[in-house]
Structure 1
Amino acid sequence: MDKTIKNLTIKLLTTAEELESVREFWQKHNQHPYSDFEYFALSSQIEKRFIQPYVFVLYQNDEPVTLLAAALRSSEIKWRFGYLPLFKSKVKSIDVSYRGIYGDLSEENCNLLVKALLDTLKTGKADMCFFDHLRIDSPFYKAVKRIPKWRSRDNADYENPHWTLFLENSFEIFYKTRSKNTKSNIRKYRNRMIKNFGDDLRLEFYTKLKDIPSAVENIETVAQKTYQRSLGAGFLNNEETLVKWEFLAKKNRLFNAVLFIKEKPIAYWDWILYNGVAFSIATGYDPEYHYYHPGHYLLIACIEYFCNAPNCDMIDYGFGEAQYKRMLGSEMWLESPVSIFAPNLKGLKLKLMKMLTIGTSQSIISILEKLGLLGFIKKLWRKKLSSK
């Protein structure tokens, strides 16, 4: 698909050979490990759902000025009402990489790219286009919410906080900058663990290729007991994960932390180190030790490590609400998982199902939050899921 509007040419790149022509531009602007050029190329080779790259590029005078990194995938949407599974939909989706829109993001350029996505959806090649969280203050998000007509527009997207932590030069300085309440919690949970388990506590950081078998074994021991596993989230022990970890280890980006009591792993935290940032990928703990807050203990140990690491300036906790992010973060912005639906019967069906499930869920969540009951209900559901 080549289309020229004014002095801009829009091209759709769908082969590895075509992607090589924009590698330099892509890597120059990318800031996230999931949308890294080589990581994207690896995913295209190993992911079973992956059909082909679907990368839109705006050119001006034959030079790329704006790029949207996406892939056409065969997906299965698991519709839920909160944590309760309802039904599934098989779809072909244009999945835009997280933070995978680069370059000149002027209003005009964003509008052109959204219109190009809509034109593609009109051909029937995909049922929807999914953006795995866009900043709600970004021009691209505004274009996605403004340009599609009602049947293609997402009316059930919602806001998610995204927290980061700027690291100090030492853990001592970090500790001093925290609030009185946060300092108290750091001491309380640390002392609770030490008082009950003392010298039996042990930390392991897995960063090398040779560490991967041990990391997988110990993390899986914990992950299989978590509520995230029941939701198909968190650490997934499969071939894709193994290949990606091997890639990350070779690039010195792998960082997996595990907390043990004697030889028993009780909590894990998976990170990717990329361009001076530690990105939180997955975490979990053995629910048997819930009272002791082992996840909090492990996170503080990771923060202390990253404060002392020479090439780590920030922690990115990712999107999603969590008390620890508010306590141990320094900057927050709002993002939204948003879609564009194909202007056909299947697209309309997907839109209505999202409104029925996610839209209704978010309305109830808002009510529970106002009543002060949301945390209590979440704990009950997570306890139930962990016991399965």
Structure 2
Amino acid sequence: MLNQANAMTQTESAATSRSANTSKVKILIARTLDEVEPLRKAWTSWGGHRDSDIDVVLMIIGSYPEAIRPHVIALYRNGEPDAILIGRLEKKRIAFRIGYLTVFRPWARTLNFVYGALRGNASSENSEILIGEVVRCLKKDEADVAFLEFVPVDSPLYEKARTVPGFLSRDSHPVSQLHELLEVPSSIDGVYHRMSSKSRGELRRKMRKLEAHPAGELRIVCYRESTEMDRMFADVERVAKNTYQRGLGAGFSDTPKVRERLGLAARKGWLRAYVEYLGDRPIAFWIGMLYGDTFFGEYLGFDVEFRQFAPGMALMMKGIEGFCTRVKGEDVKKLDFGPGHAEYKEALSTQSWREAAVYIFGPTVKGAFLRLVRMTTQSIEQLARKVLVSTAILPRLKRIWRDRLAKRSKSTPAENVPTPD
């Protein structure tokens, strides 16, 4: 059990030394489930991303084998909670990649701060104090490295994560990527009109051919309830096992982790699992969660045999049409496509921003080693990407690699898929 008084006294002293403005700041780090619960009221009142929801965080800590305990840094001002940085301590392999290729997976103790980890007052001053606490925990050898999942690059938290740690602890090579979002219009026509006339016409032509396919009637089922989970998992797995994501060890797979995650979503009323069928055969799926007024896309895939009919895009457009018409009275205002660029996201999105995952390395031999591996792999990837972009062959190589992975995944059962790090 954490000695709360000692932790608060030490941190208050450190914070006070920074400036007079922080003289009434206290920090409490919740390292047990019992210490997390008193934060629930403030935690939920601030709102935020689905991944930093307190019940999602506790589910992961309680069910994921690599999760050891919570690590939630709570910042108080004048005795009242003002902000929290939400994370957990894990022992796991960290995947260092060059493109799709994983080149090294060393074991490490990691302070993993979730997507949307900072709730409450996200000021520059609070961000500096919270990152300072992360650095202090690493200096005390609580972990080898800290990892902040995809922080907006224009946020104070990102800036402080890049500047507060000492030079040898900083991540010198964070790579930003797009995160795109669609503000749901009142009519699906507003979505189609975001496409070029050529793309719009081609998609509608493919959708008509799919509807007329001799394999059977085209229908879409939306699974929401816990009682529907087994049927949904079985049908989605029939499609997912042949996708390129399966070859990467990513995307949907019928594993205990995914069942826990989607099971919680079903119990909370968030789950929306759309499956597209031709007759009785599932050919595409789009699984996400409706959290507040935002639908967060989680998994998307289709049967490659029907690629020429764009079944995944057809399913997504039907789902979005339901958002526009407020099916079952649901008020979906935003569709969050998640991090990473894709052509369909670019075509449909109305908002975008750049974000990057950021590491902070411990001041130890292990931390220095991890930093060296990170710098090396990121430097090689950035150089290779620059060369490929300049020769305009990157999209073609991606397609070839994805097709290769899709073929390989056909012989890889779900239970043998490596867990994404």
Same fold at TM > 0.5: yes
How many Å apart are 1:30 and its aligned residue?
A: 2.7
Tell me, in whole angstroms, the C-alpha distance in 2 between the residues paired with 1:385 and 1:190.
26
Instruction: Give the partner amino acid of 1:281.
Output: E
How many Å apart are 1:199 and its aligned residue?
A: 4.9
Structure 1 residue 299 corresponds to structure 2 residue 316: yes
Structure 1 residue 315 corresponds to structure 2 residue 332: no
Alignment partner, residue 344 of structure 1: 364
Tell me, in whole angstroms, the C-alpha distance in 1 between the residues paired with 2:37 and 2:165.
31
Would the aligned equivalents of 1:161 and 1:332 in 2 still touch at CA under 8 Å?
A: yes
Structure 1 residue 172 corresponds to structure 2 residue 195: no
Structure 1 residue 24 corresponds to structure 2 residue 41: yes
How many Å apart are 1:181 and its aligned residue?
A: 4.2
| Deviation per residue, 1:268-288 (Å, 9 max, x gap) | 111111001110011112222
**Unpaired stretches in structure 2, ≥5 consecutive residues:** 1-6, 16-22, 409-421
Most deviating of 178-187 and 118-127: 178-187
Tell me, in whole angstroms, the C-alpha distance in 2 between the residues paired with 1:85 and 1:10.
38
Would the aligned equivalents of 1:136 and 1:334 in 2 still touch at CA under 8 Å?
A: yes
Tell me, in whole angstroms, the C-alpha distance in 1 between the residues paired with 2:190 and 2:124.
41
Would the aligned equivalents of 2:178 and 2:339 in 1 still touch at CA under 8 Å?
A: yes
How many Å apart are 1:203 and its aligned residue?
A: 1.4
Alignment partner, residue 87 of structure 2: 70
SS at match of 1:22: helix
TM-score normalized by structure 1? Answer: 0.96
Would the aligned equivalents of 1:11 and 1:56 in 2 still touch at CA under 8 Å?
A: yes
How many Å apart are 1:179 and its aligned residue?
A: 4.3
Tell me, in whole angstroms, the C-alpha distance in 2 between the residues paired with 1:158 and 1:181.
33
Alignment partner, residue 324 of structure 1: 344
Alignment partner, residue 150 of structure 1: 167
Would the aligned equivalents of 1:182 and 1:327 in 2 still touch at CA under 8 Å?
A: no
Alignment partner, residue 302 of structure 2: 285
Alignment of 1:132-147 (within 5 A): 132-147=149-164
Specify which of 211, 218, 234 is matched with residue 251 of structure 2. Answer: 234
- RMSD between aligned alpha carbons? 1.6
Instruction: Give the partner amino acid of 2:69.
Output: Q
How many Å apart are 1:14 and its aligned residue?
A: 1.0
Aligned-residue sequence identity (percent) comes to 29
Specify which of 41, 46, 52 is matched with residue 69 of structure 2. Answer: 52
Structure 1 residue 124 corresponds to structure 2 residue 141: yes
Tell me, in whole angstroms, the C-alpha distance in 1 between the residues paired with 2:293 and 2:199.
25
Q: CA 1:175/1:73 → structure 2, altered by over 3 Å: closer, same or farther?
A: same
Would the aligned equivalents of 2:215 and 2:278 in 1 still touch at CA under 8 Å?
A: no
Would the aligned equivalents of 2:242 and 2:303 in 1 still touch at CA under 8 Å?
A: yes
Alignment partner, residue 288 of structure 2: 271
Aligned length: 388
Alignment partner, residue 119 of structure 2: 102
Alignment partner, residue 219 of structure 1: 236
Structure 1 residue 358 corresponds to structure 2 residue 375: no
Q: CA 1:168/1:198 → structure 2, altered by over 3 Å: closer, same or farther?
A: farther
| Deviation per residue, 1:254-313 (Å, 9 max, x gap) | 011111222221211111110011100111122222222211111111111121223211
Would the aligned equivalents of 1:189 and 1:296 in 2 still touch at CA under 8 Å?
A: no
Tell me, in whole angstroms, the C-alpha distance in 1 between the residues paired with 2:286 and 2:379.
31
Tell me, in whole angstroms, the C-alpha distance in 2 between the residues paired with 1:370 and 1:331.
27
SS at match of 2:318: helix
**Unpaired stretches in structure 1, ≥5 consecutive residues:** none
Alignment partner, residue 386 of structure 1: 406
Tell me, in whole angstroms, the C-alpha distance in 1 between the residues paired with 2:43 and 2:261.
20
Alignment partner, residue 260 of structure 1: 277
Tell me, in whole angstroms, the C-alpha distance in 1 between the residues paired with 2:355 and 2:214.
40
| Deviation per residue, 1:45-84 (Å, 9 max, x gap) | 1111110000001111111111100000111122222122
TM-score normalized by structure 2? Answer: 0.88
Alignment partner, residue 226 of structure 2: 209
Would the aligned equivalents of 1:259 and 1:266 in 2 still touch at CA under 8 Å?
A: yes
How many Å apart are 1:354 and its aligned residue?
A: 1.3
